[in-house]
Amino acid sequence: MRKAILLLAGLSAVALLTLWLRDLGGIVEIRVGETWIGVSMPIAVGLIAAGFILLHGALRLIAWARALPARLKARRDERRRAEGDGAITRALVALGAGTAEAARAETRRARALLGDTPQTLLLAAQAERVAGREDAAASIFQSLVDHPQGRFLGLRGLLRQAMQREDWPEAKRLAREAEAAQPGAAWLREERRLLAERTQDWREALALCPPDGPRAALALAAAAQEEDAARAAELEKRAVAADAKFAPAAIAHAARLEAAGSHRRARGVLEAAWLAAPHPDIGAAWVASVAAPLARVKAVEDLTHRNANHPEARLLMARIALEAGLTGRARSELDALVGSGAADRRAYLLLATLEETEQGDTAEGRAAQTRWLREAAAATDAPRWRCDACGAEHGAWKPDCAACGATARINWSSPASLPALTQA
Ligand SMILES: [Zn+2]
């Protein structure tokens, strides 16, 4: 609407100007030497306007002709880009469908159409890997490394290959390079953590462990690798702080304090760990330094007086009392434990030993022992160090499972807490 009004106004202005010029009259003279040309004023203005339009048209035509090759090239490039994008899409579909040869053909087409961009190179490497041609993939990843924008992607591909073929020194070198190319990349951090775990570099694994990761286990494992005693003690302290219920850390920390002559602090660490989560190994460490049988009973009382009804407290007391010949004390603990319904196989085996100690090799003694052994066979198995990844049992805590290679998955657990594995 606005355009129409403007056009109308323009046309009116031209018409008015023409009328005004006609009314004005007059002649425009051009004299060159002897030649004289006289043109009436409106025709002269018309000629000038026509000349201007012609000149403008000619200039536009020249500019158009000059830009023609560039325009044709842009159109060609556009077509190639569209075809290249199509090839990339088809390559992605082929990769998704796992049809390696189709993916390779499409990535070759994409590279021919679009050149070696990080995108086409990455796809080509991926297609080679799907086709099982690791060497070809590696050489493409290497081209990506040399590409200014693809360096990190290339290193990432090479790192994955190195980890897959378990070439740990090469993987570590590539991880360092990738870290330099893209500092702080989340994916790389995770990959470096896996690498540290696979190479049992526990200190590095601890440094890369997320806040909710198994920090206590990794700190304790790092402490065991540490040659410097002060640094090892520091790591053990961190392990205890990370998980107060993690008995191995408390036991290791207490042993180091004891060795350094800090007897009271060592006892404090064991006591705190026992209160957090009573564990037979803590009980064993607690009484290890006490030799006299009755003094051992007193030591167990000191340890367990704040949670004397806990099944582990009762078991510890029963065992130490039995060793000291206090069969009545042992029996009262074991009876209470069986009565509470929390008794496992260890309680029934201790009762069998108790009958033997009290009644000796008599008919009654043998009958009572047999009864408890039968109960023991039917009872829940004792808790053990078990890998929650594969269910394998371990005699002692370890940072990684020898059966399945999982890291920080060995936990203290009874079979009842592993329903999936008991069913299997
Ligand atoms: Zn395992």
CA distance 233 to 253: 7
Please tell me the pTM assigned to this model: 0.70
Distance 231 CA to ligand 1 centre (A): 29
Distance 255 CA to ligand 1 centre (A): 28
Q: Which pLDDT belongs to residue 3? A: 85
Distance 207 CA to ligand 1 centre (A): 23
Distance 407 CA to ligand 1 centre (A): 8
For range 247-276, the mean pLDDT: 96
Inter-residue contact 354 to 335 (CB < 8 Å): no
Distance 197 CA to ligand 1 centre (A): 14
Lowest mean pLDDT among 45-49, 191-195, 201-205, 332-336: 45-49
Q: How confident is the model at residue 422 (pLDDT cuts 50, 70, 90)?
A: very low
What are the pLDDT digits (tens) for 321-360? 999 999 999 999 999 999 999 999 999 999 999 999 999 8
Distance 218 CA to ligand 1 centre (A): 16
What are the pLDDT digits (tens) for 292-323? 999 999 999 999 999 999 999 999 999 999 99
Distance 236 CA to ligand 1 centre (A): 24
- Contacts (Cβ under 8 Å, ≥6 apart) of 331: 318, 351, 354
Using the predicted structure, report yes or no on whether residue 217 has a pLDDT greater than 70: yes
Distance 412 CA to ligand 1 centre (A): 13
Distance 223 CA to ligand 1 centre (A): 22
CA distance 205 to 317: 39
Q: Which pLDDT belongs to residue 424? A: 34
In angstroms, the first-to-last Cα distance of the chain is 81
Distance 400 CA to ligand 1 centre (A): 8
Using the predicted structure, report yes or no on whether residue 88 has a pLDDT greater than 80: yes
For range 200-220, the mean pLDDT: 94
Distance 403 CA to ligand 1 centre (A): 5
Return left, alpha or beta for 325; rule: phi > 0 is left, psi -120 to 50 is alpha, else beta: left
Using the predicted structure, report yes or no on whether residue 282 has a pLDDT greater than 60: yes
CA distance 201 to 255: 23
Lowest mean pLDDT among 79-88, 338-347, 414-423: 414-423
Distance 411 CA to ligand 1 centre (A): 11
For range 238-261, the mean pLDDT: 95
Distance 101 CA to ligand 1 centre (A): 38
Distance 346 CA to ligand 1 centre (A): 25
Distance 397 CA to ligand 1 centre (A): 12
Q: Which pLDDT belongs to residue 416? A: 54
Distance 422 CA to ligand 1 centre (A): 15
Distance 387 CA to ligand 1 centre (A): 5
Kindly list the distances between the CA atom of residue 81 and the CA atoms of 9, 147, 178, 207, in Å, as whole numbers in the listed order. Answer: 47, 20, 30, 45
Distance 380 CA to ligand 1 centre (A): 22
Q: How confident is the model at residue 119 (pLDDT cuts 50, 70, 90)?
A: very high
Q: Which pLDDT belongs to residue 6? A: 87
Distance 80 CA to ligand 1 centre (A): 53
Q: Which pLDDT belongs to residue 23? A: 79
CA angle 215, 216, 220 (to 5 degrees): 115
Using the predicted structure, report yes or no on whether residue 418 has a pLDDT greater than 70: no
How confident is the prediction for the chain on average, in pLDDT? 91
Distance 386 CA to ligand 1 centre (A): 8
Distance 378 CA to ligand 1 centre (A): 27
Using the predicted structure, report yes or no on whether residue 234 has a pLDDT greater than 90: yes
Distance 388 CA to ligand 1 centre (A): 7
Distance 222 CA to ligand 1 centre (A): 20
- Please report, rounded to a whole number, the percentage of residues in the chain having pLDDT higher than 90: 78
Distance 166 CA to ligand 1 centre (A): 19
Distance 256 CA to ligand 1 centre (A): 29
Q: Which pLDDT belongs to residue 40? A: 79
Lowest mean pLDDT among 14-28, 43-57, 100-114, 247-261: 14-28
What are the pLDDT digits (tens) for 144-197? 999 989 999 999 999 999 999 999 999 999 999 998 988 888 888 889 999 999
